[in-house]
């Protein structure tokens, strides 16, 4: 069977790939640009082609004929007719609708439809029709106010038609941003080739087809540097949205280290400070703050209080729903999304596509690993048993209660201690979901613990102690999922997670992806209670990383006591 073609295409738009096939790796890499992994058991991986996965592929320049040629060359039983039809349909819809400015764009924008009959059909949707001031059905054109630019795009994509936005942007207040040739510490600094390619794919030389979109790079590959270079390319006042205050401070540090901007040009808009300067850094949390659910968000006017030429959404996969609403109203501003994964657990990938912008650049994780830009990682799932008494209690509980009981299984403690002994001397992050579990390990292990309740100054002190080697083990809550710069961390141990969150798994692995100064690899462990919903959700969490080429060795907990721990960083 291994000599046969690798892909099995099915009429429900799924693709099955055998992991034991000799062409597995090349097939996986071929599918990655236009399909998403939905199941990843040991021997058969299942991918699905969706409208958004196709539209993102089209935005990076991929064509329908290229996709179908790849599928036809590798499909064991041929390409189902409806499969071919759907792929052509979704690709054909890209560029069918386009947005343009009328005159200087200050009063009116125009929607063009290359096939007027399609627009006539969609006008039967009342939510779309009410957005237009007037329509010329014969020519396939409709006019609307600039304030409805995001709403038009959002409604069209919900109807299955992505719109190409050619309506241009306001320039914003000019600001010269120069990248340094040397960092403040005197180290040489220049863009890596893939970072330069990402910036060019976003900016497009300042043309109307550039200026909005999402760059997908793994953690540790320098997404912030891409943001700095995009700022330099745009050359205007910039608003940067970050997931938390720690990330905000890291952006400020990178701006001072790698650009010629001065401290008095960089403002912090947070719970501690309310500065609005040519480059302003804020957090999603402050933007979505309101005293009561019935009241308005207090700080949404930040989007309009500055003459922004660029808005950067760091970790755009975490973008809260209310910020989407605000983003729909500022479509005349250039927008850059940065993320390690376009996966959103709320299913709002289509809103990222139309309101922030489509995927403009995507670098496969394993490709960057092979080139030495991120560390090689060994991933292992350690399966820990329940004691008989706890299993009886588990079986009598509700499903939600079962997940917490399995996540906090006390037997994970022995496995954790075995790993700490195995990796003694390494820089180790222990990451967990439940504070009570973290507190228990904090008392037992006598190592520092960082949670969201800890003041930012104290957190930074502990992070700095870890960077300098004065602390070698840190316990961290969900605040460790993203935006902490700990380049020497080389072991991450996940003791509990958020149900089946694929984005969380990717972010946690990302904590140890920075290249190590000694050239060594890293180790990622998930402690999972065997035969429980904890194990089920672990498989779901691993799906995105499996798609990127990572494989998980399955280890019984007793193997750790025997010293059986994978040491190779080679993936399947």
Q: What is the H or E stretch that residue 280 is in?
A: strand 279-283
- Kindly state whether residue 188 falls inside one of the protein's structural domains: no
Q: Give the closest residue to 308 by CA, choosing from 279, 337, 283, 329.
A: 279
Same domain, 157 and 215: no
Query: Taking 80 as the threshold, does the pLDDT of residue 483 lie above it?
Result: no
For residue 394, tell me if it sits in a domain.
Answer: yes
Q: Please check whether residue 433 lies inside any domain of the structure.
A: yes
pLDDT-derived band at 205, boundaries 50, 70, 90: confident
pLDDT band at 110 (very low <50, low <70, confident <90, very high): very high
Question: Is the pLDDT confidence value at 27 over 50?
Answer: yes
Residue at 181 is within a domain: no
Q: At residue 151, does pLDDT exceed 90?
A: yes
Average pLDDT over residues 182-206: 90
Same domain, 395 and 378: yes
Q: How far is it, in rounded angstroms, from Cα 508 to Cα 491?
A: 11
Residue 38 predicted with pLDDT over 80: no
pLDDT score at 482: 67
Dump pLDDT digits (tens) for 404-429.
999 999 999 999 999 999 999 999 99
Q: What is the CA radius of gyration of the chain?
A: 25
Asked whether residue 175 is assigned to any structural domain, the reply reads no
Query: Quick check: is 186 in a domain?
Result: no
Facing residues of 556 across strands? Answer: 383
The predicted model gives 268-281 an average pLDDT of: 92
The answer for residues whose C-beta is within 8 angstroms of residue 237's C-beta and 6 or more apart is: 172, 173, 174, 175, 278, 279, 280, 306, 307, 308, 309, 310
Q: Which whole number is the average pLDDT over 382-388? A: 92
Among candidate residues 343, 363, 383, the one where a domain is terminated: 363
CA distance 21 to 109: 52
Start-to-end C-alpha separation, the chain = 19
Q: What is the pLDDT of residues 67-92, one digit of tens each?
A: 999 999 999 999 999 999 999 999 99
> What average pLDDT does range 210-215 have in this prediction?
91
CATH number at residue 139: 3.30.70
3-state secondary structure of 137: coil
pLDDT given at position 547: 73
Distance CA 195, CA 559 (A): 41
pLDDT (mean) for 154-161: 94
Per the rule left: phi > 0, alpha: psi between -120 and 50, beta: everything else, 350 is alpha
Instruction: Check pLDDT > 90 for residue 296.
Output: no
One domain for residues 68 and 116: no
Quick check: 314 pLDDT over 60?
yes
Burial grade of 566 (CB within 10 A; 0-12, 13-18, 19 or more): middle
Q: What is the pLDDT of residue 106?
A: 66
pLDDT band at 2 (very low <50, low <70, confident <90, very high): very low
Domain stops at, among 330, 363, 396: 363
- What secondary structure does DSSP assign to 386-449, as a single string? PPHHHHHHHHTS-HHHHHHHHHT-TTHHHHHHHHHHHTTTS-EEEE-S-HHHHHHHHHHH---E
The per-residue pLDDT for 1 is: 42
In a shared domain, residues 359 and 408: no
CATH number of residue 262's parent domain: 3.40.50.300
Q: Which pairing describes strands 279-283 and 266-269: parallel, antiparallel, or unpaired?
A: parallel
Range of the domain at 19: 7-93
* Per-residue confidence (pLDDT) for residue 572, from 0 to 100: 37
The answer to whether residues 426 and 348 belong to one domain is no
Mean pLDDT of all residues in the chain?
Answer: 88
Backbone torsions φ then ψ of 311, nearest 5 degrees: -120, 125
Q: Report, as an integer, the average pLDDT of 229-249.
A: 93
**Tell me: the pLDDT tens digits for 430-452?**
999 889 999 999 999 999 999 88
Rounded mean pLDDT, 124-152: 95
Question: What is the pLDDT averaged over residues 523-544?
Answer: 88
Query: What's the pLDDT at 183?
Result: 84
- Confidence band (pLDDT; 50, 70, 90) for 493? very high
User: How many domains does the chain fold into?
Assistant: 4
| Domain identity same for 423 and 471 | yes
Mean pLDDT across 12-19 = 92
Lowest mean per-residue pLDDT among 94-98, 104-108, 282-286, 568-572: 568-572
Ranking 33-37, 161-165, 199-203, 261-265 by mean pLDDT, the lowest is 33-37
Instruction: Evaluate if residue 548 carries a pLDDT over 80.
Output: no
Task: Decide if pLDDT at 571 tops 50.
Answer: no
Q: Take residue 118 and report the two structure tokens written for it.
A: 């399609």
Residue 467, in any domain of the structure: yes
Q: Which helix (H) or strand (E) holds 510?
A: helix 502-510
Q: Where are the alpha helices (DSSP H) in 114-148?
A: 116-122, 126-129
State whether 141 and 211 are in the same domain. no
Are 416 and 540 found together in one domain? Answer: yes
Verify that 207 and 289 share a domain, yes or no.
yes
| Closest CA relative to residue 382, chosen from 557, 547, 253 | 557
Let me know whether 13 and 88 are in one domain: yes
CA pair distance 550, 543, nearest whole angstrom: 9
**Are 504 and 433 in the same domain?**
yes
d(CA 374, CA 512): 9
Rounded to an integer, what distance in angstroms lies between the CA atom of residue 109 and that of residue 218? Answer: 37
Cα torsion through 451, 455, 460, 461, rounded to 10: -100
Same domain, 556 and 478: yes
67 close to 56: Cβ distance less than 8 angstroms:
no
- In terms of pLDDT, which residue wins out, 269 or 557? 269
**Is 346 inside any structural domain?**
yes
Mean pLDDT of 379-405: 90
Rounded to two decimals, what is the model's pTM?
Answer: 0.85
Most confident of 165-169, 361-365, 559-563, 564-568: 165-169
| Final residue in a domain of this structure, among 93, 118, 149 | 93
């Amino acid at each position: 069977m291994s000599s046969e073609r690798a892909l099995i295409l099915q009429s429900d738009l799924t693709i099955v790939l055998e992991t034991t096939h000799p062409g597995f790796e090349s097939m996986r890499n071929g599918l990655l640009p236009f399909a998403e992994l939905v199941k990843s058991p040991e021997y058969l991986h299942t991918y699905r082609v969706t409208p958004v996965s196709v539209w993102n592929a089209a935005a990076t320049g991929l064509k329908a004929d290229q996709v179908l040629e790849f599928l036809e060359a590798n499909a064991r039983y041929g390409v189902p007719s409806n499969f071919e039809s759907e792929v052509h349909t979704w690709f054909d819809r890209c560029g069918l609708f386009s947005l343009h400015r009328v005159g200087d764009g200050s009063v009116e924008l125009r929607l063009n439809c290359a096939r007027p009959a399609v627009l006539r059909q969609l006008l039967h949707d009342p939510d779309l029709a009410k957005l237009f001031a007037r329509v010329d059905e014969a020519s396939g054109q409709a006019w609307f106010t600039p304030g409805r630019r995001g709403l038009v795009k959002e409604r069209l994509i919900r109807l299955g038609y992505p719109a190409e936005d050619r309506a241009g942007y306001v320039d914003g207040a000019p600001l010269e941003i120069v990248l340094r040739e040397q960092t403040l510490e005197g180290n040489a600094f220049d863009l890596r080739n893939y970072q330069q390619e990402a910036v060019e794919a976003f900016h497009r030389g300042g043309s109307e087809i550039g200026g909005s979109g999402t760059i997908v790079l793994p953690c540790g590959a320098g997404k912030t540097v891409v943001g700095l270079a995009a700022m330099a390319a745009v050359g205007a006042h910039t608003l940067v949205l970050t997931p938390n205050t720690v990330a905000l401070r890291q952006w400020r540090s990178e701006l001072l280290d790698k650009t010629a901007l001065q401290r008095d040009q960089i403002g912090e808009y947070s719970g501690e400070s309310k500065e609005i300067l040519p480059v302003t850094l804020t957090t999603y949390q402050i933007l979505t703050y309101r005293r009561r659910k019935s009241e308005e968000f207090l700080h949404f006017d930040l989007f309009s209080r500055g003459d922004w030429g660029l808005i950067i959404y760091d970790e755009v996969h975490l973008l809260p729903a209310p910020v989407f609403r605000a983003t729909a109203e500022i479509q005349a501003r250039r927008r850059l999304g940065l993320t390690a994964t376009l996966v959103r657990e709320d299913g709002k990938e289509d809103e990222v596509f139309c309101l922030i912008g489509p995927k403009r650049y995507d670098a496969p994780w394993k490709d960057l690993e092979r080139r030495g830009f991120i560390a090689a990682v060994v991933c292992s799932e350690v399966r820990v048993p329940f004691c008989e008494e706890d299993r009886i209690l588990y079986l009598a509980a509700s499903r939600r209660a079962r997940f917490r009981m399995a996540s906090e299984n006390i037997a994970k403690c022995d496995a954790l201690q075995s790993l700490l002994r195995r990796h003694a001397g390494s820089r180790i992050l222990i990451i967990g979901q439940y504070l009570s579990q973290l507190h228990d390990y904090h008392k037992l292990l006598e190592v520092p613990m960082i949670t969201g309740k800890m003041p930012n100054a104290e957190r930074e002190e502990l992070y700095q102690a870890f960077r300098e080697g004065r602390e070698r083990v840190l316990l961290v809550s969900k605040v460790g999922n993203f935006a902490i710069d700990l380049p020497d961390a080389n072991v991450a141990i996940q003791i509990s997670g958020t149900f089946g969150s694929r984005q969380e798994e990717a972010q946690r692995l990302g904590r140890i992806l920075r290249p190590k100064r000694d050239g060594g690899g890293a180790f990622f462990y998930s402690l999972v209670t065997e035969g429980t919903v904890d194990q089920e959700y672990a498989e779901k969490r691993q799906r995105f990383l499996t798609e990127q080429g990572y494989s998980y060795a399955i280890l019984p907990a007793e193997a750790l006591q025997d010293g059986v721990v994978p040491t190779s960083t080679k993936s399947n």
